[in-house]
Amino acid sequence: MLEIRPHCEHCGKALANTSTEAMICSFECTYCQACATQIFKNVCPSCGGNFEKRPIRPSKMVAKYPTSDKRLHLPKDLTKALQLIEKYGHLKPEER
């Protein structure tokens, strides 16, 4: 089950469960849409995977399955991120 992390790991922007700007990779690294697309060019700076829009947990399920309140604000080294972008950015996600 997804944690539904509450913030962008890079810039710290709040990403509530209902946010339509939340993007995740297959390891659930969580970024705002601006960081995922503009800074990291759809290449996760942690794993090299791609990003997809994070689903919104239905409000009736949040009480039973709460979202995470753990803040992960770990700004990425942009030099290392650029190396991953150069390595994987030209490849389709299924070819990485």
- Measured CA to CA, the distance from residue 45 to residue 22 in angstroms comes to 16
Question: Structure tokens of 91?
Answer: 């490849």
Whole-model pTM above 0.75? yes
- pLDDT(26) > 90: yes
Report domain extents, the chain. 1-57+72-96
Nearest to 93 by CA among 12, 39, 24, 10: 24
Q: In the prediction, which pLDDT does 72 show?
A: 83
Tens-digit pLDDT profile for residues 30-83: 999 999 999 999 999 999 999 999 999 999 999 999 999 988 888 999 999 999
> What is the distance between the alpha carbons of residues 34 and 63, in angstroms, rounded to a whole number?
29
Going 59 to 30 to 12 to 86, the CA torsion angle's sign is negative
- Between CA 30 and CA 81 the distance in angstroms is 15
